[in-house]
Chains A and B, each alone.
Chain A
Amino acid sequence: MTTLSAVKQGRAGPTGDDPTPAGPGWAKPLHRLRHHRQELILLLVLVAMTFLFAQLNPRFLSTAAAANIMQDFSPVLLTAVGQTFVIISGGIDLSVGSVLGLAGVICALTARAANQAGLPTGAGIGLAVMAGIVTGLLVGLVNGLLVSRVKLAPFIATLATMGAAYGTTLVVTNGVQIAGGPRAVILIGSKTYLGVFTAPVLVVLGVTAIAWLFLAKTRFGRYTYAIGSNRFAARVAGIGVKQHLVKVYLLSGVLAGLAGILVYFRLGSGSPSSGQGGELQAIAAAVIGGVSLAGGQGRLGGTILGAFIITAVISGLILIGVAPAWQQIVTGALIAVAVAVQAIGNPKRSVDL
């Protein structure tokens, strides 16, 4: 168990468990490897999966298939990254799917209004992106305040905003697809670089890298782990728990908002039904990646792999011609297996859910 002073002074490792063993220099990488067995297992699953799909349909390895997977992967990744911070802090954010949908249609409505007002394309798109981000920020702020000030359980607070955000989506769209933005949107959203990455996908990868550094290397990340491990102790140690939780939910909201913008760029229009069920996908990605729903434990590397596996498997199953109903069964089984394997050979703890 990490000492509180260590947390404050920044000596604690991200997971806060066993201390680095003293030993010869060569032992350190080996230890690190064991430390990351979660990610290793997921990598093995991924390699096995890729091998299997590629055997059954070589097109699985084509750049076009990869581009498709990256586009599916990006929104799931963004919401899962936010979810990882929230879950590590000991909470949960059920609103991310609805926020994705709301931010997407707000972005689309802004783009359409700017287009009709005759603004230059670049300015219109810029405004639309801002509007989407602000939407995410606002819902995140409400979540943060409900959790930290009104002291609602995160589950209930975000359940409430999940419903409210979806309702707002229906009110502002009347349930209709919002098109009429500049044509450049879909061109930006579909032009690939190196055959695989669209500009929005590259943005997502950049954002994820920054979030990774934030969680693993900064005080912000350490506070998040500390609060999730023991909220009371964190407060005693002088961490501003309330302020920090607000920031964590803000982050999750903004990332979900970005995910909505991303889907908008992909579709070229805002769909009120986008993002439904997205919260469960985000939670699943994090849990597969080894983030404990009990809080205080998990790493972003795991979440990234988790998100990649659940999106790549769907794409692969379609490519090898598995019927849609079976795709869902296979995905469900994969989640169960991926989490179960983590417990094998780890007698100290079964997988915390």
Chain B
Amino acid sequence: MKFKSTLAAVAAIAFSLTLASCGGSEKPSSTSSSSNSNGLIRVAFVAGITSDPFFRAMRLGAEEEAAKLGIDLIWTGSPTEYSPESQVPFVDAVLADQVDALILVPTDPDSLQVSVDKAIAQGVPVITVDTTVTDQSGLTAHITGDNIQGGALAAKTLAEQIGDEGEVFIISGSPTATTDSMRAQGFEEELAANYPGIKVVGTEYALSQPAKATSAVNTAMLNYPDLKGIFAINGTSGTGAVAALQGASNPGQIALIGYDAYANQVADLDNGVFTALIAQDPSQEARLALQDAKAAVTGEGKDKIERTVVIPNIVMTKANLADTRKYQYAE
């Protein structure tokens, strides 16, 4: 009995981990089977996680551009999870389907290297978007938003809002997500270099639970009564920080910088909880990637492809919202 139930407990944990990591599967959105059957270039776009508005904004940009360029776009990727285990099968599937070009948001720089090398060996041009792989020598192009620059921009914006001194707190998403750590790195480096009076008093992680971020921010406000600002590095931590500040006894006294421009975040910027948002431009990333894919496949303008394109981030504040609202992620 005892052994059996111990086994059950171990299995319980193992199973729920497995379940969490297999996620689900989503069929490619285009089902054309033979290459060039309708004379169009077939380009596969494997996103990080298809259910996220960031990638949905990317998809809208991609679909628009595909229609304009006469590309048969196969948009696919794991619907539930941003991880290499769930992404690799989708990449393998589109390569087996003999697409003309592959646009990929690698969920891990090393794990996806094999798939990228395989594509290149098959003569399929590969363009990475948003994130990239370790060995970029075979890539046609890499198009990205700059997370370090975004973090630095957040630091600069925060310094403008709180003055050049005070205590600030970082609430991040996960210690293993490179985008999160790069944003934090950019933020801390910028503060250290140009704003020595601003001190980062701590970093906590939401680990995909907004309520955890709420607790962490509440605790930080308790521990540092003079806290001047908070940098919420991703969407989840932003949601949690917003809830904490709305429940605080002194709302409006702490500057809150968020990252990304989901509809809810923009609404919270508009009603004054976020004091600024650092927005990326995913649809622009997608458009450039498709242009490069077409050039690489047809050879037309191939020599003009820029190997690395960094799309700068945008600072959205309540004051400039009229001009910057267009960067809100499409849903």
Partner-B contacts on A (CB < 8 A): 57, 59, 62, 64-65, 68, 71-72, 75, 92, 94, 155, 159, 162-163, 166-167, 170, 174-177, 179-180, 186, 189-190, 263, 266-269, 271, 273-277, 279-280, 283, 287, 292-294, 314-315, 318-319, 321, 324-325, 350, 352-353
Contact = CB atoms under 8 A, between A and B. Distances in A.
Nearest to B246: A186
Nearest to B80: A170
**A-B complex: 4 closest residue pairs judged by Cβ atoms:** A190-B247, A175-B51, A273-B208, A179-B264
B211 A94 contact: no
B6 interface: yes
B52 A268 contact: no
A189 B247 contact: yes
A59 B224 CA distance: 11
A98 B36 CA distance: 43
Interface of B: 1-2, 5-6, 8-9, 11-13, 15-16, 19-20, 24, 49, 51-53, 56, 79-80, 175, 202-205, 208-211, 214-216, 218-219, 222-223, 235-236, 239-240, 242-243, 246-247, 262-264, 267-268, 331
B209 A315 contact: no
Given A92-B8, A92-B12, A279-B16, A267 B264 contact: no
A353 B9 contact: yes
Given A75-B211, A92-B8, A92-B12, A271 B239 contact: yes
A274 B16 contact: no
Q: Which of B12, B175, B205, B222 has the most CB of A within 10 A?
A: B222
A167 B209 contact: no
Contacts of A179: 264, 267-268
Contact of A274 (B175, B204, B211, B216): B211
A65 B220 CA distance: 10
Contacts of B215: 68, 71-72, 314-315, 318
Contacts of A92: 8, 12
A64 B6 contact: no
Contacts of A170: 51, 79-80
B16 A162 contact: yes
Given A175-B52, A274-B209, A353 B6 contact: yes
A76 to B, nearest CB: 10
